[in-house]
Structure formats: structure tokens, C-alpha cells
Amino acid sequence: HDVLAWCLGTLMMFSVASNAHAADVINSNFSQSADGFQYADDSFLQTAHPAYASGNYTATGGATGGGLETRVGGIDRVAISNGMSGGWSRTFNLAQADTVTVSVRYRLFHTLNFEPDECSEALLAIDSTLHGQAGQRYLHRFCGSPQIIDLDSGWQMFSFQTQLPAGQHTLTIGGFLNGKTTEREEATIWFDDVRVSIPGGTLQETICNDTIDNDSDTFTDCADSDCNGQNSCEFGTELSCSDGIDNDADAATDCSDSDCALSPACQPQTEAICNDLTDNDLDTHTDCADDDCDGIGSCEFQTELSCNDAFDNDADGVFDCSDSDCAAAPNCQQTGQVVFSATFDQNAEGFSYLDDAFMQTAHPAYESGVHAPGLGMQGAGLLLQIGGVDGSQITNGMSGAWVRTFTLSQPQTVRVSFAYRHFFTLNFEPDECGEVVVAVDGALQGQAPNQYVQRYCGVPAQIDQDTGWQTFSFDLALSAGQHLLQIGSYLN
């Protein structure tokens, strides 16, 4: 840098190589703690709902290692339409008026349950003045998606410069949610690598894994000597083989680096899960159709080895008694006619949906059923949803069922079999229970001695519960004439 100095009244010019780094007012990577940041409810936009905001330091919540977490919304079914917020704050002092550079990593996660007019935001403020992407007050914003999917920004980097007067200032980072109606509507915002600096001299490579040449010296991340031993930048070897970073700055990353040849993360991939309908190893073969799955789980070798597991073991498009491999299986010998069989691949196949089908319930607004392509065990299926909707408390039950009539020409014993899956969200209390139920002519059938097929109640650990796909069958003696089959769910 060229430095001009007045000396003894004579103008003199010196060429000076400066090694001074920018002065860091705040430089927090949260590797051990919140590093002086303090959490407070209702930190933004004059919100006043502290029960619906929380903050925690988490040792694994950052982009790398620890980070700061803010949650807004959720909790219960109370509808809130005037906003919730929470934020982490830290003060800093400037000896004189100066321009500061602020940089931060953030991630915003917005659950699938929100309506399109319910929006969450990742926010940053200095002295209560919000700073965001060009023309906006926020770093990132999500609103409910018509596709009903979780929205995740992934880790993002944001930086800006602003002029501040001398004295004490407060930096606040956190989140805001404009409204929610159920306990499942919650947004989470994480922060990491927060830096406030006063430019001066030569800048330092402040963040060593953002693929940016922060100090404009032509060296980026681990290739810059500023990063030696920092974050994920090791010396001389690719110490981590799954972080997406060239740790030893040799232009080869993770499994592309010969240092990682023996790492478990770099071994040839196989079809890791054989019943998730996903091509895990991207070889165009999925689950049992992939040779990797031969003999694993429910994937047998070239034949339908099990004829009563409701699974296409040999991946030929048919399963159990529908597969010619099972022609000789005892349970596939037809001693009578098939009254009806439904796969639901194209439509509901004669079934129709009915609210309040069981236990004399009377809450149709909290029950629904649709034919659902892609949500069956294989292909389409019938879907029921019970509960949810709003913040109302219901204690006398809700139910729904898919129903179909069938006719017998003479008295006989029939076998009813079907596949089901029960998903029970984490928000229920221990005395709130959901059941898979089936009835013929109004008489409930179930796993002896119960009158239900399967049951979940809320658990103290507050975790989602999921049976995965299961099968159930029962035999029942019926008279000649018309009968009604009901398959559905009950929530107390």
C-alpha cells in the first residue's frame, strides 16, 4: 500500500508492505459456547408472544460445529396472527465513527404445515435497524408451500457494510414468524460464523469454507495460509473425507483426494436401503430390483420366496399370491371365489370415504380421506387424516373410514387382508391416542383381545411414530347377502 506522510514540512512518499489485519470487533464461530450472545424472546418487530419463541446454543447446530438456534411458532393449537420472534444479541463498542463489515452464516427451516400466508424470516439488526438482502428487511423468507413440503434454505452466507457512530452498538440475529394456527407450524433458524470487523490494512481469510477469497489475495479457503489449522483446514492431508472442503489445499476434495482412498465414506456405494423406493446408489435399479439387495431384508433371489408378506420380493411387478412363483403356496390355494381385490393403482376401486365412521363420533371437519397416488405401499393408496386443522380442543373422538359393500350368495367364511401404515405426529399428549380400525357390518375386528388393528399414544419423548407398512388379515363367518367393509382410523 502507498502511504503518504508529512515529515518536517516536506512531502515524502514511502512504499510500505502492511501485514495488519482488519480489526475484529466480533468474531464468533460458537465452537465452545454462545460467545457472549444472549437470547431474548420478542426481539423483532414489537412482537409479544414469548411462549412461542425459544433459543438454544447447540454444539452441533452450526454450519461446522456449534451454532445458535432460534425456534418460533409450534407449541399448541392457539392461532396467532400478529407475529412471534426471538433473537440473539451482543453489544460492541466503536472508539470512533467507522464503517463496519458484518458477515454471518444462517439457515432457515420452515415446516410443511404452514398456509401460503404464514411466513417465516431470518433477521439481522444493528441497533434495531434491520438489514437484509437488497430491498428487503430479511436475510431469507419462506411462506407456506401449496405443495405441502418442508422448506430449507441450507446454509447461506450474508455480508454487508454499514456506517456507525462512535459508542456502543447491539447486533441481533434471529427469526420472525408472522402467524400460525397449529402446533406443527414451526420455523427454526440457525446462525454460525458471525463477524463484525473494521476494515483496515490487509483483510484476513475470515471464513475458511465458503469458497470465497475473503481477503482478495488470490487464495481461497484452505489454500490461504490465514486458514492453516482453522475450522476444517488441516496441514498436509485430507483429514476429513466428507466435508466438501479441500482441507490440504491440493486441488482434490474428499474422495477425489488419494488421502481418502481407505476412508469408509469413499468406498463404493450400494443400495443401502432395500425398501425405501429410492435408487440409493444411482445405478438405475431400485430396492429389490438392484442386485445389491439380493438376500437382504425382504429381497430374495429371483423368486417370490415369501407368499404372504405383501411385498414384491423379486421385483417383477406382482407379489404374494398374484405372483406365479406362489402358485403352489398353501395360502394361495383358492378354495372359493375372490369376492373383490383392490390395489388402488388407478382409483379408489369401489371404496368411498365416510366421515365419523366409528364410535359414534361427530366431528366431520377434523376428518378427511383422498385417493393418493404414490402414497401406497406400492403405487397409489387410500389416505385418511384425522385431527389437526385448528386450535380447537376435541375430547370425544374423531374418525373416518373407506367403505365398500360386497355380496355373498351363501353363508361362508371370508378372509379379509390389507396393508396399512400408521403415522402419528410428535405433538400428542400421552392420553391422546390414534388407532387403525376395521369393521365388517359395524363389528370391529382387531388384534386379539383388542378391537383395533394398531394403536399409538403420545410419548414423553415427543417423537413422531410410524409403523411403516404392515399387513393384517382375519377370518370371519358371514351370512348370505350384502355386507359392509370399513377400513379407517379413530383418534380419541
pLDDT for the residue 204: 56
pLDDT for the residue 14: 24
Residue 144, burial from CB neighbour count under 10 angstroms (0-12, 13-18, 19+):
buried
Query: Which of 125, 155, 151 has the alpha carbon at shortest distance from 137?
Result: 125
For residue 56, how many other CB atoms are within 10 A of its CB? 12
Domain parsing of the chain, residue ranges: 23-198, 268-333, 352-491
Please answer whether residues 205 and 218 qualify as being in contact, where contact means their C-beta atoms are separated by less than 8 angstroms.
Answer: no
Phi, psi of 279 (to 5 degrees): -85, 85
pLDDT for the residue 333: 64
Any residues with CB less than 8 A from the CB of 245 and at least 6 apart, and which?
208, 209, 221, 222, 232, 233, 253, 254
Q: 404445515: which residue's cell?
A: 113
pLDDT for the residue 329: 77
Residues in the chain: 492
pLDDT for the residue 487: 95
* Global confidence as pTM: 0.41
Q: Which amino acid is at 475?
A: D
Q: In the 3-class helix/strand/coil scheme, how is the chain assigned residue by residue?
A: CEEEEEECCEEEEEECCCCCCCEEEEEECCCCCCCCCEEEECCCCCCCCHHHEEEEEECCCCCCCCEEEEEEECCCCCCECCCEEEEEEEEEEECCCEEEEEEEEEEEEECCCCCCCCEEEEEEEECCEECCCCCCCCCEEEECCCCCCCEECCCEEEEEEEEECCEEEEEEEEEEECCECCCCCEEEEEEEEEEEEECCCCCCCCCCCCCCCCCCCCCCHHHCHHHCCCCCCCCCCCCCCCCCCCCCCCCCCHHHCHHHCCCHHHCCCCCCCCCCCCCCCCCCCCHHHCHHHCCCCCCCCCCCCCCCCCCCCCCCCCCHHHCHHHCCCHHHCCCCCCCCCCCCCCCCCCCEEEECCCCCCCCHHHEEEEEECCCCCCCCEEEEEECCCCCCCCCCCEEEEEEEEEEECCCEEEEEEEEECCEECCCCCCCCEEEEEEEECCEEECCCCCCCCEEEECCCCCCCEECCCEEEEEEEEECCEEEEEEEEEEEC
Any residues with CB less than 8 A from the CB of 443 and at least 6 apart, and which?
none
Tell me which residues of the chain have a pLDDT lower than 70.
1-22, 200-207, 210-218, 225-226, 228-239, 247, 249, 264-265, 267-272, 282, 294-302, 304-305, 309-318, 333-336
CATH 2.60.120 fits 23-198, yes or no: yes
